[in-house]
Amino acid sequence: MNEVYLDNNSTTQMDARVQEVYIESIEKFGNINVIYNKGIETRALLNDAYDKLYDGINASDDDDIIITSSTTEGNNIVIKTFLDKFLNGSEKNHIISTVAEHASIKSPLKYCKTMGMDVTYVGTDSNGIVKIDEIRDAITDKTALITVLMASNETGAIQDIKAISKIAKERGVYFHSDGAQAIGKLEVDVQELGVDYFSWSAHKFHGPKGIGGLFVKGGVPYTPLIHGSKNIMGGKRAGSLYNNGVAAMATAMEIANINLPLITKTVQELRNYLEDELLKIPDTKSYVPRKNRLKNLVAISFKGIEGEAMLWDMNTHNIYLSTGSSCSSEDLESSAVVEALGEKTEIANATVMFALSKFTTKEDIDFVLDKVKSTVVRLREISMTYAKQEAFSVHLH
């Protein structure tokens, strides 16, 4: 039975080599703060993992990489660092973000507002690109932080993080980027990007769930979210380390970076083929020009068909897609990120995301195309809205 997983911006299948490291390193369970051999063995495992993580994003020795449970935790640490500073007397009470952010940014920012901080959300253009001039214009002498995701899980739009970082530095504002969709899909060099903070999750690049990282540039503000013993990471994130998770994440990052040129080329070719064929279906449109989009993603709307209906039908064929962020998909609401492109709610509701990975094959794509085409015909025959909606214009790449 065919089974095709195309929800790889939500989570990914663990690489077999990563699984091997994950299982083997379970045996290295000793306390890293002791002097006996079992502890020394564990320290060696973690030191090797840290070396891979630092190399993987080109962090310097003066920087910190905080081991977290997820991008969500990393994002919360950064935002609440500046909330803590404000609550302790700082006059910097303003944070700038964008309408394209994940819930793990929007939710803590909403909390910051309840605590008295000001938040400005900058818009995107019709291609999902953040309006950098609006960021520049929004900065005041009270601005503490700018936070912008590197790439959208929903539209695939890639932001010019380096340019935004330059503006932040010119104005004396700290800058954070949510990099959940970046590692394994884009080159990530924190020195080149110029970020002060950068967060990620291993499960987005074929690593294990429950483990992530937060890059913190040397000398920038940092307040722990979890307090406890200072024996782990100098007290910057208390609690026993998830040793085999750290080792597996480091291996996943190493593999992702080594394979990046080949994988992105192969995945991009399959993605382009899928998109070209989907756009041959009448009244269908995709989003964000390919040059500005993650190479693994097609975000596409089928006129007159609810995205959820498409998902349920595809599920009967063991094809797994998405209608938006996995962290909000149960809400059954239209994609706010797609609406931010200027689309009407009914079009945003009709948007489906096809996210490929290095495990996706040509046979997978052909199977998906066959099922999608027949499903579109069937669902439009029973659609109450198809004939009433305006015709779609095919997106030009």
Q: List strand residue ranges (DSSP E) for the chain, in order.
A: 4-5, 64-68, 94-98, 118-122, 143-147, 174-178, 197-201, 212-216, 284-286, 297-302, 319-320, 351-355
Query: b vs e for 141-160, b when ≥16 Cβ sit within 10 Å of the residue's Cβ?
Result: eebbbbbbbbbbbbbbbbbe
Q: How far apart are CA 116 and CA 73, in angstroms?
A: 22
If phi over 0 gives left and psi between -120 and 50 gives alpha, with beta otherwise, what is residue 143? beta
Q: Do 150 and 178 meet the contact criterion of CB atoms below 8 Å apart?
A: yes
Quick one: residue 298, left, alpha or beta (phi over 0 = left, psi -120 to 50 = alpha)? beta
The tokens for 57 are: 């994003």
Residues assigned a catalytic role: 327
Rounded Cα distance between 283 and 158, Å, is 26
